[in-house]
């Protein structure tokens, strides 16, 4: 039987007695992916996964495989895809070095709760443990950085293992899953009985049951609060609870601030959106965290980059924590009322139980701080009158041109903090960044994936001159796949964020942060991608227009001030109310 035709026949006869057909493990794997609705795979072949690639040859019309230039690029692309599409990112890699190249991306996806299914090839089962060519103990290497992993040694296991993998990756608090398949299982023929998705595992509780008692207790605290404050994180987006969240914010009238992972869940210019939390967050939300009486944390995990010193963090406040992961409750901040559950379910219950209110005066205090911050920092950053260009004004100009509708993918460093602070986001799933791991080299490949995940949207990657050189080879992926990604390098000729710390805390001892770059425009040109470099303010708007209007990918290098610092800043080891404006 034609293997590619099998999936259709399978669904047509699903209700009847299941037919069996002889398939190889590799073909069964691809059938399983198709049954899970996968359309795009990022990967890189090699000896131990060749049977899968061979099978893929017959599935070209159903599965779009993107050949990346490095497995790290593949997994970051998978992450970008997952983050914009809300679906599971799928990545293929071979054994040994292929699999170990996934490690950074797995750790990144684990800490940022990104749903991924990674398939790695492995040596023949009979060679396991013999130090065979390209054998690496991938299961043990990836155990601490996966939500689940599993080694398949027999083709019969494949449909079941893939079903579990998808269910675990996307349910509850999402995360990366790795399935390592030995070569014998890939080539082995077996009686394939079709594919049954998994929706239950005895030992796995993806989400805790909602307890009405806690909803009531939380509502009571909120209704009696004088100065309540909402902190939201990516949980709102992962739970597709943006509307439920907005309804809660608007009925309760409470000011709300976001972590970088939560950015965009409600639009940047929503009147109750008071800004960004954390080390380089806004002035008001940081200071007022230590003045609110009730703190409502929704789908966020009190990362130390958000809380600063824990023993001086919101000690005066009663804390309500809404989270799907019970292990997050009390992990860092002691909770008064834990609202376990999926915020898609808990938020409407809470909204129903809270009184309609307006906290006008309290909200005005945030706005006071915003005014102070504008005077001290923002105006100079966004509208400098002279001197070299700032990162902030580049983002501000981008905002004007995209009207806040673009997907912004950032790398790690000063530009990341500037982009997160100033990018205008009208829509959810518009901010793709490496939050928890802070992985340099993330943005270029993640932007490729982000574009595949949101093909009708403009995707702009904002990258530092340091970070772009970590995965610059993915320009080749852009070239070959013909994808449209706008690459904006903010070049300060330094590893800027490290330089900032050295300036502020190591008395300007600039130890190995002075980084030289190639001619990025020429490099792009080598890959057939048009580009341009600018250093004059007068060119900025027009150059950005050129980038955005170019029918395909475009690389724009913007030379920015070399020694500019990102402020405000909560220095490491300080309390959030000790945030510095300069």
Partner 1 sequence: MEKKEFNITVYTENQIGLLNRIAIIFTRRKINIDSLNTSPSEIHGIHRFNIVIDETEDVVRKLCRQIEKQVEVLKVYYHTNEDVIWQEMALYKVPADIIAEKASVERLLRENGARAVVIRKDYIVFETTGHREETDNLIKVLQPFGLIEFVRSARVAIIKDSEGFNSKLREFEKEQPGEEVIENEYLNQGQKVFTM
Ligand X SMILES: Cc1ncc(C[n+]2csc(CCOP(=O)(O)OP(=O)(O)O)c2C)c(N)n1
Q: Give bridge partners of residue 475 from the DSSP assignment.
A: none
Which of partner 1, ligand X, none has residue 144 at its interface (CB below 5 to 8 Å by kind)?
partner 1
The one-character DSSP state at 377 is: I
Q: How far is the CB of 334 from partner 1 (least distance, A)?
A: 10
Active site residue 497: yes
In angstroms, rounded to a whole number, what is the distance separating the alpha carbons of residues 518 and 527?
A: 14
Site for ligand X, residues 475 to 504, rule: CB under 6 A: 490, 492, 494-498
Select which of 18, 22, 60, 133 is catalytic: 133
Residue 103 binding partner 1, by CB under 8 A: no
Give the bridge partners for 558, in sequence order: 490, 534
Q: Distance of alpha carbon 346 from its chain centroid, rounded?
A: 23
Measure the CA–CA gap between 273 and 264, rounded to whole angstroms.
10
Restricting to residues 374-393, name those near ligand X by CB under 6 A: none
Q: Which three-class secondary structure state does DSSP give residue 459?
A: strand
Identify any residues that bridge with 67 across adjacent strands, giving them in sequence order.
Answer: 43
Calpha distance 181→26 (Å, rounded): 9
Q: DSSP assignment of 23-43, as one string?
A: EEHHHHHHHHHHHTT--EEEE
> Is 168 among the residues that bind partner 1 (CB under 8 A)?
yes
| By CB under 6 A, residue 466 contacts ligand X | yes
Residue 496: contacted member of ligand X, partner 1, none (CB under 5 to 8 Å, by partner type): ligand X
CA 92, 95, 101, 104 dihedral sign is positive
Number of chain positions touching ligand X (CB under 6 A): 20
140 binds partner 1 (CB under 8 A): yes
Q: Which two tokens stand for residue 441?
A: 């080299």
- 464 forms part of the interface with ligand X (CB under 6 A): yes
Partner in contact with 139, chosen from partner 1, ligand X, none, beta carbon below 5 to 8 Å by kind: partner 1
Pairing of the two strands 21-24 and 189-192: antiparallel
Eight-class DSSP state of 157: G
Q: How far is the CB of 199 from partner 1 (least distance, A)?
A: 6
Question: Closer to ligand X at the Cβ: 402 or 414?
Answer: 414
> For partner 1, which stretch binds (CB under 8 A), given 140-148, 231-239, 278-286, 438-446?
140-148
Among 312, 331, 365, 537, binds partner 1 (CB under 8 A): 331
Nearest residue (CB) to ligand X, 438 versus 552: 438
Residue 530, burial from CB neighbour count under 10 angstroms (0-12, 13-18, 19+): middle
Cβ atoms < 10 Å from Cβ of 257: 25
Residue 415 binding ligand X, by CB under 6 A: yes
Return the residues of window 181-200 that contact partner 1 according to CB under 8 A. 196, 198-200
Annotation says 134 is catalytic: yes
Question: How far apart, in Å, do the first and last CA atoms of the chain sit?
Answer: 70
Residue 418 or 544 with smaller CB distance to ligand X: 418
Residue 25 has φ and ψ, to the nearest 5°, of -55, -40
Closer residue to partner 1 (CB): 60 or 205: 205
Cα-only R_g, the chain: 25
Q: How far apart are CA 390 and CA 398, in angstroms?
A: 13
Q: Which of 439, 533, 565, 575 binds ligand X (CB under 6 A)?
A: 439
- The reply on whether position 412 binds ligand X by CB under 6 A is yes
CB of 326 to partner 1, least distance (A): 6
Q: Which is nearer to partner 1, 13 or 358 (CB)?
A: 13
Q: Is 413 in the site for ligand X (CB under 6 A)?
A: yes
What track of x and - describes contact with ligand X for positions 66 through 85 (by CB under 6 A)? --------------------
Is 183 one of the catalytic residues?
Answer: yes
**Torsion over CA: 462, 467, 468, 473 (sign):** negative
φ and ψ of 296, to 5 deg = -110, 105
Residue tagged active-site, from 417, 470, 497, 569: 497
CB of 169 to partner 1, least distance (A): 11
Between 4 and 188, name the residue whose CB sits nearer to partner 1: 188
Helix (H) or strand (E) holding 450: helix 443-453
Q: With H, G, I as helix, E, B as strand and everything else as coil, classify residue 122.
A: strand
Measured CA to CA, the distance from residue 87 to residue 500 in angstroms comes to 37
Name which of 185 and 472 has its Cβ closer to ligand X: 472
Q: Should residue 150 be labelled a site residue for partner 1 when binding is judged by CB under 8 A?
A: yes
Active site residues: 71, 133-134, 183, 497
Q: Which chain residues interact with ligand X by CB under 6 A? A: 411-415, 438-441, 464-467, 490, 492, 494-498
Q: Which chain residues interact with partner 1 by CB under 8 A? A: 139-140, 143-144, 147-151, 153-154, 156-157, 160-161, 168, 196, 198-205, 208-209, 325-327, 329-331
């Amino acid at each position: 039987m034609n293997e590619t035709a099998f999936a259709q026949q399978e669904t047509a006869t699903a209700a009847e007695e299941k037919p069996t057909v002889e398939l190889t493990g590799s073909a069964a794997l691809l059938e399983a992916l198709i049954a899970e609705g996968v359309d795009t795979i990022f990967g890189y072949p090699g000896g131990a996964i060749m049977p899968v690639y061979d099978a893929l040859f017959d599935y070209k019309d159903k599965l779009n495989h993107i050949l990346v230039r490095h497995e790290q690029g593949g997994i970051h692309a998978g992450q970008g895809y997952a983050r914009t599409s809300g679906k599971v990112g799928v990545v293929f890699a071979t054994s040994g070095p292929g699999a170990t190249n996934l490690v950074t991306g797995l750790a990144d996806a684990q800490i940022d709760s990104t749903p991924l299914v990674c398939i790695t090839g492995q040596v023949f089962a009979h060679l396991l443990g013999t130090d065979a060519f390209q054998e690496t103990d991938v299961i043990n290497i990836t155990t601490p950085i996966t939500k689940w992993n599993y080694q398949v040694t027999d083709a019969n296991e494949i449909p079941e293992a893939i079903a579990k993998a998808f269910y675990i990756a996307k349910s509850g608090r999402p995360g990366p899953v790795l399935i390592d398949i030995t070569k014998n299982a890939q080539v082995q023929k077996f009686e394939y009985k079709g594919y049954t998705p998994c929706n239950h595992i005895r030992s796995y509780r993806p989400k805790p049951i909602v307890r009405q008692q806690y909803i009531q207790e939380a509502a009571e605290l909120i209704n009696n609060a004088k100065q309540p404050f909402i902190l939201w994180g990516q949980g709102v987006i992962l739970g597709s609870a943006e509307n439920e969240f907005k309804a809660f914010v608007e009925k309760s009238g409470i000011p709300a601030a976001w972590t970088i992972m939560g950015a965009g869940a409600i639009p940047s210019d929503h009147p109750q959106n008071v800004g960004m939390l954390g080390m380089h967050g806004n002035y008001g939300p940081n200071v007022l965290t230590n003045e609110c009486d009730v703190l409502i944390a929704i789908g966020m995990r009190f990362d130390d980059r958000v809380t600063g010193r824990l023993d001086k963090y919101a000690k005066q406040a009663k804390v309500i924590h809404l989270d799907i992961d019970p292990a997050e409750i009390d992990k860092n901040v002691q909770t008064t009322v834990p609202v376990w559950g999926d915020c898609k379910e808990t938020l409407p219950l809470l909204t129903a139980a809270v009184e309609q209110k307006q906290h006008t005066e309290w909200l005005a205090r945030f706005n006071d701080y915003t005014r102070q911050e504008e005077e001290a920092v923002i105006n100079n950053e966004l509208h400098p009158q002279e001197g070299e260009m700032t990162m902030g004004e580049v983002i501000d100009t981008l905002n004007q041109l995209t009207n806040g509708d673009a997907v912004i993918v950032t790398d790690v460093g000063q530009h990341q903090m500037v982009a997160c602070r100033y990018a205008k986001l009208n829509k959810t799933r518009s901010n793709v960044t490496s939050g928890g791991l802070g992985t340099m080299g993330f943005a270029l490949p993640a932007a490729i994936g982000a574009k595949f995940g949101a093909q009708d949207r403009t995707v702009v990657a904002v990258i530092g001159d340091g970070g772009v050189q970590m995965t610059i080879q993915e320009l080749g992926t852009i070239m070959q796949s013909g994808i449209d990604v706008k690459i904006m390098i903010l070049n300060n000729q330094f590893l800027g964020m490290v330089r900032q710390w050295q300036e502020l805390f190591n008395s300007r001892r600039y130890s190995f942060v002075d980084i030289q770059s190639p001619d990025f425009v020429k490099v792009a040109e080598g890959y057939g991608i048009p580009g341009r470099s600018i250093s004059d303010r007068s060119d900025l708007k027009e150059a950005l227009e050129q980038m955005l209007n170019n029918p395909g990918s475009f690389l724009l290098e913007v030379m920015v001030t070399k020694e500019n610092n990102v402020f405000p800043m909560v220095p490491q080891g300080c309390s959030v109310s000790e945030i510095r404006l300069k």
